[in-house]
Amino acid sequence: MKKYFFIVITILLLFKTSVFALEIETESENILLYNLKDEKVIYQKNSDENTKIASLTKIVTVLVALENIEDINEKIVLTEEVFEGLIEADASVAGFKVGEIVTYEDLLYGTLLPSGADASIALAINLFGNERKFVQEMNNLMIKLNIKNTYFTNTSGLDEDGQKATLNDLLTIFLYAFKNDKFMEIFNSSSYTTYNGRLDLKSTLSYYERVYSLDTKIIKGSKTGFTNLAGLCLLSYADFDNMELVLITTNAPVNEQHFPYNVTDALNIYNYYFNNYSYFTLLNNNQVLTSVQTKYSKEKEVNLIYKGFDFKYFLPKDYDKNEIEFEIDIHDNLTFNTRAEKSVASLVVKYQDDKIFTGDLYLENKINFSVIRFVIYYKYIFIGLVIILIIYFKQKKLTFS
């Protein structure tokens, strides 16, 4: 398979305090909600704290595997080494067996959908010889992405000393993964049948949906996780009515009934924002924003317009329009020499004192030169020149006389 190499763009607004409130109760201790369309964090709680992430680790496992698999349909035989210690560690498994012939694609789906540690270890052994070397590649990917607060010690996310992560780092990882078409194909799947037809792999989200009668159709893709130290975790993606959100949560509590608070938190958060927020058009192409006076032109005033894409912004449905501010800074006095394609003013749009957009303003129409206004503008100079000329010629006439 072709290797994937992407440049990860720094998220400039990642650590900015969100202006969007979350007015519902949540169980998860660590939360990060990101607007994919605007490339902006819109809610966070303890997102920069060190946290265990359990099987969310397998997102990185699959990414590293995808970047090193040459043929996704290549068949391999699962050895006993793959399954050593899994029962003792109480690790979740996809259900593969010793001696079974599988494809790399089977293992990729087995790692993400049912969160199989058997599948993740099989990827590590067959691609790099052992899990230790594969984990080294996982940490090399963190270096490539300029991630400094996340470090892995195994491929499955089982609790171990030294393993650490933050939700901010996980977001950077997911944005990198989001550009990988095969990863997103797997991530967004709810089921998959292995090539030999023996296993029908189901996503853990579909399990929660079935067992707890949850309506999860709003979630397009997900990866769940659980360990005693990480609590219940979830990284998910949802879209609705032109809105695309990514949510990462960890440290939701675990009770005796194993109720999926990570999933209900996600559903409640998504529904809250989808029901209470929307995109509003704050600027239209060719919209007149102000008018200014001109000098020595036929037009006493000229309109300044915004030129560019329609600017839409994610806002509460009951937002106060008075909290939207337009700050305009005109560069120079406008004359008939001003070219229509030249920016004549800068524009800053603010919401609740936060800068949300910057742009340029241009002349709506060409400014036409007016001799009359030119004369009127400089009338005192002309009058002075006329007086000087009259005096000059009078004196010259007297001299010749």
Predicted confidence pLDDT, tens digits, the chain (401 residues): 333 333 333 333 333 444 477 889 999 999 999 999 999 999 999 999 999 999 999 999 999 999 999 999 999 999 999 999 998 888 999 999 999 999 999 999 999 999 999 999 999 999 999 999 999 999 999 999 999 999 999 999 999 999 999 999 999 999 999 999 999 999 999 999 999 999 999 999 999 999 999 999 999 999 999 999 999 999 999 999 889 999 999 999 998 878 999 999 999 999 999 999 999 999 999 999 998 776 656 667 788 899 999 999 999 999 999 999 999 998 866 666 666 677 888 999 999 888 999 999 988 877 765 555 555 555 666 677 777 777 767 776 656 55
Q: Which residues contact 339 (CB under 8 A, 6 or more apart)?
A: none
Copy the structure tokens of residue 334: 């406008």
Q: Are strands 200-202 and 301-306 parallel, antiparallel or unpaired?
A: unpaired
Rounded to two decimals, what is the model's pTM? Answer: 0.83
What residue segments make up the domains of the chain, in order of their start?
30-276, 284-369
| Pairwise CA distance, residues 164 & 148, whole Å | 10
**pLDDT for the residue 14:** 37
CATH of domain 30-276: 3.40.710.10
Closest CA to 47 of 5, 94, 14, 13: 14
**pLDDT for the residue 13:** 35
Fold of 284-369: Peptidoglycan synthesis regulatory factor (PBP3), Domain 2 (2.60.410)
Closest CA to 92 of 207, 217, 184: 207
**pLDDT for the residue 331:** 82
Copy the structure tokens of residue 379: 């009338």
Copy the structure tokens of residue 243: 């809105």
